[in-house]
Amino acid sequence: MIACSPSWTLSFVLEESVSMTPDARTAPGWKSFALGMFFLVSVAVVLLGVGIVSSGRAGKEFSPFTFERRTYSFYELPWLEIQLTPLVREDATDSLAKMLVKDKLLRPRPADVADRWDLIFDLSVSSQRGSHDAAVLAHFLDKSDGNGNGVWENWTNDHPLLAAELWPRVQTLAEDQLYIYTPDLFDLAEHATAPEQTAAALDARMVEVYLMVGNAQQLAGRHELAVHFYSRAIACEGQNVAALTGRAVSLDSQGKQEQAQADRAQVEHLRSKKT
């Protein structure tokens, strides 16, 4: 962008003031001009300073692999989003996340999978982005009783067998950034009694979610993602005809006919068993 320069500059004003006669510099017109310029420059400096000071940006992030949390903050040029100061990060991990890792209720991040942090919230003066999807899970993890005790930390300690079914599935949804569906799993677990029945109920809901998301990705032409989500559904229910059929279609679209045919053969086998 080319900025239009004013017809005068500060150096021009200073040169003119030096070349003026004493009478000219003390004339009422010159005094008014000088005072006006001083006022404008002062206002500009104040506004710039206020803008920089009030341009703080802060947020919180969530790790889907360890459930750790961290905050970040820095200053930026308002509205232009140009970073002015170094990024400062601080750990904000709670005791529940530490316990889940310690008790191995969460799977370690695979070596071939890149580390990732998802936004819980991101706030700045110029852009109020607010909460992101990870905030849904963070809200449940932070749930406390009337005494300030963590509800899900206590539940995990009191129901170790049920916890072993719940947390790995919550982690799976988090890894796939499907945070908005995690409340369903907490609701099922909270009212569960037997581990086997809990696992079946959780898997049934996972299949519903992954079929829905897989179908949406397939319709959008994102077949690689569709295959991933259909595979997640099949991992929960190996003989799910809808997931196998959907995956075969997306595999075909990727030119993977041999794998697609294997899925179709399995579907035919399952259907023949029912007849």
pLDDT in tens, 22-57: 554 455 565 565 566 655 655 444 445 544 445 788
CA 232 to CA 216: how far, in whole Å? 15
User: Would residue 264 count as lying in a domain?
Assistant: no
User: Would residue 44 count as lying in a domain?
Assistant: yes
List, in order, residues 6 or more apart from 67 with CB less than 8 Å away.
93, 96, 97, 100, 101, 106, 141, 171, 174
Domains of the chain: total: 1
Integer angstrom CA distances of residue 163 from 74, 89, 104, 196 = 38, 31, 11, 12
User: Would residue 94 count as lying in a domain?
Assistant: no
H runs (alpha helix) in the chain: 10-19, 22-25, 28-53, 95-102, 134-141, 151-158, 160-175, 182-190, 195-219, 223-236, 241-253, 257-274
Each residue's pLDDT tens digit, 123-153: 876 665 678 999 999 999 999 998 989 999 9
Each residue's pLDDT tens digit, 81-120: 788 899 999 999 999 999 999 999 999 999 999 999 999 9
User: Would residue 31 count as lying in a domain?
Assistant: yes
Integer angstrom CA distances of residue 261 from 14, 119, 183 = 84, 40, 36
User: Would residue 26 count as lying in a domain?
Assistant: yes
Residue 6 in this model has a pLDDT that exceeds 50: no
Residue 248 in this model has a pLDDT that exceeds 70: yes
Output the pLDDT for position 17: 46
User: Would residue 112 count as lying in a domain?
Assistant: no
Integer angstrom CA distances of residue 61 from 73, 84, 157, 228 = 11, 21, 26, 25
- What pTM was estimated for this model as a whole? 0.79
- CB distance 152 to 143 below 8 Å: yes
User: Would residue 16 count as lying in a domain?
Assistant: yes
Domain that holds residue 24: 10-51
User: Would residue 241 count as lying in a domain?
Assistant: no
CA 265 to CA 254: how far, in whole Å? 18
